[in-house]
Amino acid sequence: MEEYIDILDENGIWTGEIATRSEIHRKGLWHRAIIVAIVNEKNQVLLQQRSANKEKNPNMWDISVAGHISAGQDSLSAAAREINEEVCVMLGYKTEIKDFRFMTSFRKEQTFREDFIERQFYDLFILREFGLDDRTIHFQKEEVQAVKFIELSEVQKMTENNQLVARPEVYDILLKYLCKF
């Protein structure tokens, strides 16, 4: 069953229409997505290696969690859902909405193929979650093939070596945030 997504205008305002995820990308319609950087008590960020079967950026390392916001859903609910789906971190009752630190929203356009155009407004959050260990995180094999926590210096190095999905806006904000701790 395909996911339905709210269609936005070029200013990020909901048009009142929805479409399937494939239609959104095929037509290059504006929509909203979330990105969550999960940071542990050692000030390391969780990265996921995207599945080899992903339509875009296969095998690339990416920020902890990223995904579309389903029709009628808010950003925080989508963030919690995507964390559970992709890296199977059950937040439970110990993590509250206040634990998500909203960092920024930004818009980005990318054309991957003639029939795959991404026009998204991203909402970026940082979640400081203590007690996580990359060896005990279970992940959705269809989406993710590996996870690891890395140091701030590795984020910079991997960015410079083009090992990370191109999200310069995210990495700049994340690096500034992590340098404070």
Task: Please name which of 41, 42, 88, 48 lies closest in space to residue 64, comparing C-alpha atoms.
Answer: 48
Q: What is the pLDDT of residue 92?
A: 52
pLDDT digit string, tens, across residues 71-104: 999 999 899 888 888 887 655 545 556 678 999 9
Question: CA geometry: angle at 94 spanning 89 and 97, to 5°?
Answer: 85
Identify the structural domains of the chain with CATH numbers, from first to last.
4-178 (3.90.79.10)
Q: What is the pLDDT of residue 118?
A: 94
| pTM, two decimal places | 0.89
Residues of the chain with pLDDT under 70: 89-98
Question: CA geometry: angle at 31 spanning 98 and 85, to 5°?
Answer: 55
